């Protein structure tokens, strides 16, 4: 009798962990997948160990409610030290479009915060803080200078 992990059952449905793993495989390995261009097509791969579901599951476990698989460095590969279960907000802050030249987080009073989150809390328009920092402003000046009126 063949023993399996029991998470890909047809009758009772696949677990979220198994569905996540299958989606990861398709995005990275199947040129026919609609998301391939954003993953496998740009060189994102999966470590050899994670090509076997049991290994992926041993490292990641079940996804907590409301969380999904996220790569800490979204230009790097799917592997244990680069992946986590993340909230939708964490996912949004880690998107390529949000990162803008790798400045996506700043440290304020010892706390790492997403630039977009800081912009919102200061009432700044999207991109204003990033632009100030790229222009050479200090974090302190960037965060303490009020929004310029039109």
pLDDT at 128 over 90: no
- The DSSP 8-state label assigned to residue 81 in this structure reads G
Give the residue-averaged pLDDT of 103-111. Answer: 76
pTM: 0.61
Nearest in space to 73 (alpha carbons), one of 42, 115, 44, 50: 44
Other CB atoms within 10 A of residue 46 CB: 19
DSSP string, 3-45: ---S-S-TTT---HHHHHHHHHHHHHH-TTSTTGGGTGGGT--
pLDDT of 7 reads 62
Q: What is the pLDDT of residues 1-23, one digit of tens each?
A: 344 555 655 555 689 999 999 99
Residues above pLDDT 90, as percent of the chain: 44
Question: Residue 82 gets which letter from DSSP?
Answer: G
Question: Torsion angle, CA of 20/22/28/31, rounded to 10 degrees?
Answer: -130
Of the candidate ranges 36-45, 89-98, 103-112, the one whose mean pLDDT is the lowest: 89-98
- Can you give the length of the chain in residues? 150
Q: Tokens 């400045």 correspond to what residue? A: 103
Q: How far is CA 90 from CA 33, 104, 114, 122, in A?
A: 25, 12, 9, 19
Of the listed ranges 48-62, 92-106, 111-125, 126-140, the one predicted with least confidence: 92-106
- Report how far Cα 100 is from the mean position of its chain's Cα atoms: 14
Q: What is the mean pLDDT of the chain?
A: 83
Question: Which pLDDT tens digit goes with each residue over 63-77?
Answer: 999 999 999 888 889
Tell me the domain boundaries of the chain: 10-87, 100-143
CB 36 within 8 A of CB 45: no
pLDDT level of residue 97 (50, 70, 90 thresholds): low
Q: What is the per-residue pLDDT for 1?
A: 37
Separation of alpha carbons 28 and 46, rounded Å: 7
């Amino acid at each position: 009798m063949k023993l399996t992990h029991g998470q890909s059952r047809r009758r009772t449905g696949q677990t979220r962990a198994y569905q996540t793993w299958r989606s990861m495989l398709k995005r990275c390995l199947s040129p026919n997948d609609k998301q391939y261009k954003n993953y496998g097509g740009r060189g994102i791969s999966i470590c050899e160990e994670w090509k076997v579901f049991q290994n992926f599951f041993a490292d990641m476990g079940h996804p907590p409610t409301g969380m999904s698989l996220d790569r800490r460095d979204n230009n790097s590969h799917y592997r244990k030290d680069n992946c986590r279960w993340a909230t939708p907000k964490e996912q949004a802050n880690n998107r390529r479009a949000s990162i803008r030249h790798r400045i996506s987080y700043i440290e304020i009073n010892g706390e790492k915060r997403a630039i977009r989150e800081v912009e919102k809390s200061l009432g700044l328009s999207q991109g204003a803080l990033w632009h100030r920092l790229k222009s050479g402003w200090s974090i302190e000046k960037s965060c303490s200078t009020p929004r310029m009126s039109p």
